[in-house]
Chains A and B, each alone.
Chain A
Amino acid sequence: MQWLWKHKQYQEWLSTNASNLLLIEGKPGSGKSTLAKYFKCNLLERDSLAEQSIVASFFYSYREGELQTDHSNMLRSILYDILTQNETFFFHFQTYYRQALQPGTRLQWPYKSLKSILKSIGEHPTEERLYLIIDAMDESDDTDRRNIIQLLRQICLGKTSCKMKIFLTSRPVAGLSHRSTETKLIRLQDENEQDILNFARSFLGPELELPSDILHQATDYIVTHAQGVFIWVHLVKQVLLSYSECGATKKEIFDYLKSIPTELKDFYKRIVKELERREQRDIEDGKKMFRLVLFAYRPLSLEEFRHALAIPDDLHAEFLPCDRSFEAELILGISKRIIHCGGNFLEVKGVPGALLPSNALLELLG
């Protein structure tokens, strides 16, 4: 991803002495979030000005529920980052804060006030540099998305001492198509070919031990058919490694590679079909896992998930919810079981680990 720092659009965005927006647009699975995280982690090292700057970020995430899709939460999170890093911004908040404070009730921030505060910060009277990193705008609540995009654009139009550098990633969505001089655009699928090439090489050679003649062909095939979609390559890696576990010739591996659907959705359907060919017990466990993950009120921790799986489905089944009898029903090696029964559709995220539907599953379900 080091190409980012040298990219013309990025450099123009960074060096312009004004507020502006860098839009990283990409297909699903093209690595937008990975790039946003990479940018956030390496910004301080790469940009000497960033050390004295404020860095605020928010990662929209559809699968993590309302908390991560709601625009109010995005604004609160960003405003929190700003105010904790620079106390001189407090006066932008003060009046709205007092209006929101109602004696005896829990403070509720009006959405309108949060937007006004961010707009006011964009007009801060002294020389300050702020980086706003907003990932996956397409995964945000679509009710007011256009207005939020509009607000970000408006901030960039302001000619004030305060420079707001907005790093925004998204799939193409309505409201983002409008171009202006304040917006720089990078289309991820045009840029990540080298990253895909490196990644493909990293497993085709060392892990699959393909000889050099077929290695080049396979690498070219993957790069050509990935069309900038990183997640497709990641899935290819998993199925190829799984296929070669029992031993295969280089021709068989390459033929298998060519048999993989190049469209992501078709690929997912094929994975589902493979899951359906498993033993009945695996299929039943898999179904139960999907039900628990998709219909849980909140993401379950790995331990909660293990316990939930141990509860019998049959309402009339004899079930003693005591520790000793329950202990025998708990799955050992739950992580392995999740991968085995859930394929690439379930994902454990964070520490100690919460179980979420993967982007692949959400994509498949539309």
Chain B
Amino acid sequence: MIDSVKLERFLRLLSAVNQEIHRSEFLLLDWDDPKFYWIFKNCDFMTWNSSKAPVLWLLGPTDCGIDQISSKIVSLEMDATSQSEGFVLYFFCSTRSTITIFIHTFLHQFISYLPPDKQRAAIRAFLLILLDKQKPLCFQDEDYFSDTMLKQIIHAPNSKLWDALRAALDVEKEQNLSIIIDGLDKVEKQQPEFIKGLQELVAYLLKRRLKPKVLLTSRSQVDGQEILHGLLCIEYDKERRGLIFKL
């Protein structure tokens, strides 16, 4: 029955938010602008950018242009992946972002990248996790698998949605994957849960994939961020301030 769910219909029912606007907004950002030296000339960024470290967390105040940087990096990663096999998943958090919106957006982007056969496999993997295995499926045809029913399924509890996203992402393990998530601090609802889910997703991808590249950013400290400690992190001007006292 799951196989009968049409791609267009499935994508339409996802609560995905179009992220294109964020990508195009700062295309004119100059990589060589000294304003952005704190990141683009930082040796930790270079390590991450050359795929020698899988995850980088950027932390800085609003006026240091972190969203512009995220946007630029999305574009650069897209340019890079268009040259080789790979895809970029990105999400710019807002005050209205929820775990469901995030997962649906990621899934939408992911499926859009895939060839038709793998698109179907991803939807199947996603839905299979969400359907309660204890209850046998009683749908006979697609009409019975109504929009209302499908919506209900894809708006499952958060823990299930994270599992389902992981399962869907497993459909394509060969290609390079870049993930950029900007503005973790903007998420107002379930922020600690969101961070935790994200950390588990990243940990899962690191185990399953060869070299995923993950960039996380926040403008300020976020609830539950202690689980991100240990990641390669560039905090705006922190190291320079530390250095000044040691000169």
A residues with a Cβ closer than 8 A to B are: 76, 79-80, 83-84, 87-88, 90-91, 93-95, 97-98, 107, 109, 125-126
Contacts and interface: CB of A to CB of B under 8 A. Distances in A.
16 contacts: A80-B244, A83-B244, A87-B237, A88-B34, A88-B35, A88-B38, A90-B38, A90-B239, A90-B243, A91-B41, A93-B240, A93-B243, A94-B239, A97-B239, A97-B246, A98-B43
Interface residues of B, number: 15
Contact of B247 (A79, A98, A125): A79
Given A91-B37, A91-B41, A91-B42, A126 B32 contact: yes
Contacts of B34: 88, 126
Nearest to B242: A97
Given A91-B41, A91-B42, A83 B246 contact: no
A349 B35 CA distance: 42
Interface in B148-177: none
Contacts of A94: 42-43, 239
Interface string B37-54: 110011100000000000
Nearest to A107: B246
B43 A95 contact: yes
A76 B244 CA distance: 10
A342 B100 CA distance: 84
Contact of B37 (A76, A90, A95, A107): A90
A94 B41 CA distance: 10
Contact of A83 (B37, B38, B243): B243
A297 B43 CA distance: 42
Contacts of B244: 80, 83-84
A125 B32 contact: yes
A10 to B, nearest CB: 29
Contacts of B32: 125-126
A97 B237 CA distance: 14
Nearest to B40: A91
A123 to B, nearest CB: 13
A220 B237 CA distance: 59
A90 B37 CA distance: 8
A80 B239 CA distance: 14
A98 B243 CA distance: 10
A80 B247 contact: yes
Contacts of B41: 91
Given A95-B43, A126-B34, A90 B247 contact: no
Contacts of A87: 38, 237, 240
A37 B35 CA distance: 33
User: Interface centre among A79, A94, A98, A125, by most B CB within 10 Å?
Assistant: A94
Interface string B110-133: 000000000000000000000000
Contacts of A90: 37-38, 237, 239-240, 243
A94 B237 CA distance: 12
Contacts of B37: 88, 90-91
A80 B244 CA distance: 6
A296 B42 CA distance: 46
Contacts of B240: 83, 87, 90, 93
Contacts of A80: 244, 247
B220 to A, nearest CB: 19
A7 to B, nearest CB: 33
A83 B240 CA distance: 8
